[in-house]
Each structure stands twice: as structure tokens, then as C-alpha cells.
Amino acid sequence: MLIGGTTVASAASAGRDVGWVCMYRDDNYAGGSVSLTNTTTSIAVLSNYGFNDEVNSWFSNYKYDSAWFYDANYGGSRKCMNSYSSNHSLSLADYDEASSAKKYTSATAC
Ligand SMILES: [Ca+2]
């Protein structure tokens, strides 16, 4: 899977690391993932990770809010990923829409 642009061995706990926000291709945190890590705190173009319009679930183990966006470069509709929360299955309208994502430095950013 791709984590911060580096391919690493598959790990069931990937994305659950402290400070990480992991976005998954399929429902229930499956199908491979790309993560906002402690060093990669924003991804302006998810297609650079082979992950454009792919996200169906996410898990945040980050103390502040983060968000994903319908368009690249943080454009279009913004969908909040609240601190220490998760969504095992996005709404059908939000399926396969995420094109960028970033972490904030506040728990009330969105
Ligand atoms: Ca999109």
C-alpha cells in the first residue's frame, strides 16, 4: 500500500498509527489505503498516489480534525474527518469522490 508516497508491506494496523489518518479504497477499512502521516500532512493530488476518486472509508487516529475534498488542491465540497473518529462506509453520494485531503492543527477546524 501507499503511505506518504512510499510503498510498504501490507499491515492491518496501517492508518491506526498515532497521528495518522488513513483513507481506504473499500468499505470497512479494506482494499488498500493512503494515509496522512506525521510527515505527509496534506495530499493535494490523490491521483499522484493512484487514489483519485477511490476512498470509501477512513479512520483517524489524529488529535485534530482533517478533511477530504471532492476536487484536487482542496477544492469542491469539503468532508470533515473529525479527530479520533472513523467512517466505515461513506454515503453513496460520497463514494469514490475524494481527490485531495489534509490535516488541520485544530480540533474545531471543521
Ligand atoms: Ca473527485
Where along the chain do its domains lie? 2-103
* Residue 50 Cα to ligand 1 middle (Å): 12
Phi-psi group of 83: left, alpha or beta (phi > 0 → left; psi -120 to 50 → alpha; rest → beta): beta
Residue 59: CA count within 13 A, CB half-sphere: 20
The rounded distance, in Å, linking the Cα atoms of 18 and 46 is: 22
Q: Is 64 helix (H, G, I), strand (E, B) or coil?
A: coil
Q: Please, which residues have CB less than 5 A from ligand 1, an ion?
A: 53, 70, 97, 99
**Nearest in space to 49 (alpha carbons), one of 35, 63, 68, 62:** 35
The CATH number of 2-103 is: 2.60.20.10
* Residue 52 Cα to ligand 1 middle (Å): 6
Q: What pTM does this model have?
A: 0.86
pLDDT in tens, 1-48: 455 544 443 444 555 799 999 999 999 999 999 999 999 999 999 999
* Residue 7 Cα to ligand 1 middle (Å): 23
pLDDT given at position 12: 46
